[in-house]
Amino acid sequence: MTRTLRGGGGWRGPYALAGFVFAGLWLLMEIRRLFHGPDMVGAGPPLLWSEAAAYGLAALLVVQAVLQFAAWLDARDGHPRSRDQVRALGHGGAWASLGLSLFIFGVVASPWWGPIAGRPTPAQAGLLFGLYAAGAAAAAWLAWPAAQWGWMRLRSAAVAAALVQLFVLITLLIRWFYQGDDMRRPMPEASLQTWTYSAVWAVYGVAVLTGGMARRNLPVRWVGLGILLLTTAKVFLFDMAMLEGVIRAASFLALGALLIGGALISRRLRAVAGLDFGKAKDEASAP
């Protein structure tokens, strides 16, 4: 029995899985203690936002550790069964952590539309937005081991999740810039704030769509297209009714210019991709 445990053939995988489960539970308790103190109770709502964001970040980091451990086992090339067990845990955990992080960063941790009410101080808001940025980076980081293992769907999902989380962060930063700590206050009608959302969203959507076209990444293109469709719907359904005068005209002109520019860039990228493909095909058929 002792030799089996040391050799690790049949037992290394289950022991490693149990270790990661207990490490994840310990991390959750440590996050709870950090935000609530030794008794683990009593933090105010502003810290609850950051606590929720920390849980989303922790889930992504734990899964990353599992995948890195699977890669380490693969490099040793000694126990394929253990490697496959850990890799399977990492694959399933990666999908679960991406879904959980999207829900946390997209809904729970938002001080604007989330379920937790309150007014974060500048320091608390800085901590929260820093966790949002770290969560987007951690989601994008999952694309690297996914590509190493050949999980292309997971790789695309990780990049798409990071882009969505970054979109939410940009939106919250705009809100904080205009509203300060009272992020739940109703938005003033016919204000520059609503135009800023449309302008920044459109720029971000065109950038994401262009990046997806350049890398031939369909999920990234869908994210960019979805942001552009959301921006277009906002302009026509909300800005048209709320904005007036110069701001209203500028909103339409800016959105139209960005959409035309994005279409031209996409067309150019398709043409270049077609030329590259044709060149590669000719070179392959050359004697």
In 3-state terms, what secondary structure has residue 190? Answer: coil
More confident residue, 13 or 97: 97
In 3-state terms, what secondary structure has residue 259? Answer: helix
Query: Which residue is associated with the tokens 């705009």?
Result: 174
What percent of the chain clears pLDDT 70, i.e. is strictly above it?
A: 75
- Residues 209 and 219: their CA atoms lie apart, in Å, by 10
What's the gap between Cα 172 and its chain centre? 14
Q: What is the mean pLDDT of the chain?
A: 81
CB proximity list for 69: less than 8 A, separation 6 or greater: 16, 20, 86, 90
Query: Which residue is associated with the tokens 């996409």?
Result: 266
- Residues 271 and 276: their CA atoms lie apart, in Å, by 9
Q: Do 211 and 266 touch, CB atoms closer than 8 A?
A: no
Residue 286: pLDDT band (50, 70, 90) is: very low
Residue 278: pLDDT band (50, 70, 90) is: very low
Residue 145 in this model has a pLDDT that exceeds 50: yes
Q: Which of 166, 27, 207, 71 is nearest to 158 (CA)?
A: 166
Q: Do 152 and 75 touch, CB atoms closer than 8 A?
A: no
Predicted local confidence at residue 27, as pLDDT: 87
What's the gap between Cα 14 and its chain centre? 30
Q: Do 112 and 122 touch, CB atoms closer than 8 A?
A: no
pTM as predicted? 0.83
Beta strands in the chain (DSSP E): none
